[in-house]
Amino acid sequence: MFIRSVKKRSIIALFLVVAFILPFIFFNNSTVFVDAGASKVYVVSSASIRGDEINQGDFMTTGGVYAESSRAVFDAKASRYARLLAKTRINNLKEYGRTELFEVSATFKFEKLVEGGMALFVFGLKQSRNGVGSADSGEVTFSYDYNNNCISIGVNEYKTEGVPTPVAEKHNYNMFSLNADITLKMKVDVNGKIYVSAECGESSVAAIDILSGKKLNIAPDGFVAFISQSTGESDENKNIFRISDILITAYNYDLVETVDHYLETFDKGSYNANMFYSQTTGSPISPAKIAVEDGKLVFRNVGQGYFTTREQYSNFELKFDIVDMYREGKKDGNGNIVKLISNWFMIGFGVDNYNDPPSHQVAATFLQFDGLPLDSPTSRSNHFTGEVEGVKDRYILFNNGNVVEGGIKSMSGDKSECIFSLWDKDYIGNEAVNLKFTVIDGVMTLYYKLASQTEYVMQYSYNIGTMQTGYIRIYSYGNGVGGSVSEYTGVLNMTIDNFEITNLDNDAVKLVKATPVYKSNVLPDTKDYAYTTVPDESDLLNNKLKNKDFIK
C-alpha cells in the first residue's frame, strides 16, 4: 500500500509539473504534445487515395470528385459544391489527458480558382451531412486575387450558422501562385488553439505562419472535409484543383472496465482461475504441462500452450520474474534426454479470446523472444546442445500473424547497459530475470534487470500506432504432438513467479471493477464411491455359465 501511494503521489506531482510548463511551450513545426492514454489514428493516410481509386472506407465523396495519379481531382466535371469528407470523426480526448486534437498536412495544386469562388478545408463538422457555414465549425479558405495574381488564404469560424467570423483575415501571399504545390499544415489542440502554416514546394521561402496559437471560439472536434465552392454549374464557373499527400491524424481511446491491479504469487499452490486461464497440448517430450509447483508457474515441455488473463486491458504494465529457464540440455545415465533447452515464447496483447485453442493463430500483437527458432528452410536448431544454423537470440514482432516491418531486433548488446539475451547462461547465471512489459498509447516497451540490479533498462520498443484492447498472454508454439517428432524438438521450459499486471488507463477516466474472489485452478479430487452391496455367488460369471437357464 505504501508503494502504491508513493506511486500515486509521483503521478500527481508529474501532472502538476506538466500543467505548469505547458503554457510556456510555443508552437513550431516540431511541437511535441504530451501523450497520456490514447493512441494515434490515421483519419486519412497515403493509402486513402492511391492511383485512380479513392478509399471509400476513409472518404465519402460527393459531387463528382475522383482520383487520378493518387490525387483527388475537383474539376469542371464536379458539381458546384463538390466535397471529399473523411469518415472518421475526430473526438476531443481532453478528459483522457490528451493535449493535441488533430493534425493535417495536404498539398494543393490550383489550376483555376474562379473569381468569387474558394477551395476550403472545413473542420469541426458535427454531422457528416453538414457543409460550409455550419454552426460550431471552422474553415481554411483558398481564393485567387486576380488583381495581384496570387493566392489568398484566410481562416474563419462559425459561432452561428452562415455567419463567418475571421480568425485570420484573408491575406494575399505573393509566393503562392497557380499551378504550384502549396502544402497546408495545421494543428489544433484540445483547448481550441489553432496553428496554421503553408509552404510552396517550388519556393526556397520557409513555411509561412498564418496562425500561431490563437484560441478558437468554437469546438473544433468533428468531421473534416475538402470542399470546392464554385460560383455556378457551368464549366467556366468551376474551380479546378487537385489535392495530394493528405495525412490527417487524430487520437482514440478504447476504454475498458477492468481490474486495476493484480499480483499472482502462486503461493496457494494454484493460480486464481477467476483472473487467469491456461491451456496446453501434448508435446514429443513428456510430461508436458503448465502448472503451479512450489509456489511458481511452470511451463514444462510445452509445445503449444499459453497462460492468459481473463481481464482485458488497453494500457497496462506487466511484470513477472523468470526464475528458471532451461538453457542447456541433460541426459540420464542411459543416454535418454531428460531436459531440453527452452526454444522461444511470446508475450501477446490485444488478444480477442482468452480460451482459443493453442493451435489457433489469434488476431493480436505478439513479441516473440526467439532463442532457438523452430526448424525452417533457413534455420535448424539442436534443442539439446543449443547449436543453431541461422539467426538466434532475437525479438520478432508479429501483428495478426505477420512480421511487423522493422520489428526484428537482436538480443545481444553491451552488457554494461544490461542489454542481454535471455539465453545467455554465462551472464545470467543462477539469477532471476525481472521482466517489465508496458503498452501505453499504442507504444510497446520491454525492460529487463537481473534480480541483483536495482534499475530496469529498456531493451525493445515499438510504436504499434493504435491502441489494442484485449487479453494478455504468455504463449508458446513449439512442436506439438502432430509436429516433427525428433530427438531434438522445440518446447518451452520456463518457470515464472510474481505475475503482476496494472491498468495504466488515464486515472481521470479509468473504469475499475472489483477484483474477482480467489478460485483455485486445480480441480478437487474425486471422492471414492462407497459401495454398500455385497455380490452374491450366483452373480459371478462362473456360476452363471453353470446355470443352464443363463445359456440359451
* Contact indicator for 366, 475 with CB cutoff of 8 Å: yes
* Contact indicator for 444, 316 with CB cutoff of 8 Å: no
Dig out the grid coordinates for 122 from the structure. 472545413
| DSSP string across 307-352 | EEESS-BSSEEEEEEEEEE--S-EE-TTS-EEE--B-EEEEEEEES
Give the 3-state DSSP-derived string for 372-425, with helices as H, strands as E and coil as C.
CCCCECCEEECCCCCCEECCCCEEEEEECCEEEEEEEEECCCCHHHCCCCCCCH
* Contact indicator for 302, 336 with CB cutoff of 8 Å: no
- Specify the pLDDT at position 15: 40
CA pair distance 472, 354, nearest whole angstrom:
8
140: β partners: 121, 155
520: β partners: 272
* Contact indicator for 76, 238 with CB cutoff of 8 Å: yes
Question: Each residue of 3-13: b (16+ CB within 10 Å) or e?
Answer: eeeeeeeeeee
- Specify the pLDDT at position 552: 45
CB-based contacts of 15: which residues, under 8 Å, 6+ apart?
none
Residue with cell 503498452: 439
Nearest C-alpha neighbor of 269 from the set 475, 523, 528, 527: 523
CA pair distance 344, 392, nearest whole angstrom:
10
Q: Over the stretch 190-224, which tens digit does the pLDDT of each residue have?
A: 999 999 999 987 665 678 999 999 999 999 999 99
Q: Mean pLDDT of all residues in the chain?
A: 85
* Contact indicator for 365, 316 with CB cutoff of 8 Å: no
- Specify the pLDDT at position 536: 63
Phi, psi at residue 483, to the nearest 5°?
-85, -165
Measured CA to CA in angstroms, residue 519 lies from 296, 360, 441 at distances of 17, 27, 33
Mean pLDDT by 10 residues, the chain (552 residues): 42 41 35 51 93 94 95 94 94 88 97 96 94 96 96 97 96 93 96 95 77 96 96 93 96 90 96 96 82 96 93 96 92 82 92 84 86 76 80 88 90 68 91 96 92 94 87 86 61 95 89 95 70 62 53 46
Q: Over the stretch 409-450, which tens digit does the pLDDT of each residue have?
A: 988 765 555 678 999 989 999 999 999 999 988 899 999 999
CB-based contacts of 21: which residues, under 8 Å, 6+ apart?
none
* Contact indicator for 434, 446 with CB cutoff of 8 Å: no
- Specify the pLDDT at position 282: 77
Neighbours of 335 (CB within 10 A): 6
- Specify the pLDDT at position 515: 96
- Specify the pLDDT at position 201: 77
43: β partners: none
Note if the bond before 287 is cis, omega within 30 degrees. Answer: yes
Beta-strand relationship, 257-259 and 511-513: parallel
CA pair distance 544, 547, nearest whole angstrom:
5
- Specify the pLDDT at position 358: 78
Measured CA to CA in angstroms, residue 357 lies from 150, 270, 292, 308, 353 at distances of 65, 21, 20, 12, 10
CA pair distance 325, 496, nearest whole angstrom:
9
Residue with cell 464549366: 235
Dig out the grid coordinates for 408 from the structure. 526484428
CA angle, corner 134, sides to 59 and 128, nearest 5? 25
CA pair distance 214, 317, nearest whole angstrom:
38
- Specify the pLDDT at position 526: 60
Q: Over the stretch 492-520, which tens digit does the pLDDT of each residue have?
A: 999 999 999 999 988 878 899 999 999 99
Residue with cell 508479429: 398
CB-based contacts of 340: which residues, under 8 Å, 6+ apart?
285, 301, 326, 329, 383, 384, 488, 489, 491, 493
Half-sphere exposure of 313 toward its Cβ, with a 13 Å CA cutoff? 29
Contacts by 197-203 with C-beta closer than 8 Å and gap 24+? 197/29, 198/153, 198/173, 200/175, 200/176, 201/107, 203/175
Provide the greatest CA pair distance for the chain. Answer: 125
* Contact indicator for 186, 104 with CB cutoff of 8 Å: yes
Q: Over the stretch 354-402, which tens digit does the pLDDT of each residue have?
A: 998 877 766 789 999 998 887 777 777 878 788 887 788 899 999 888 8
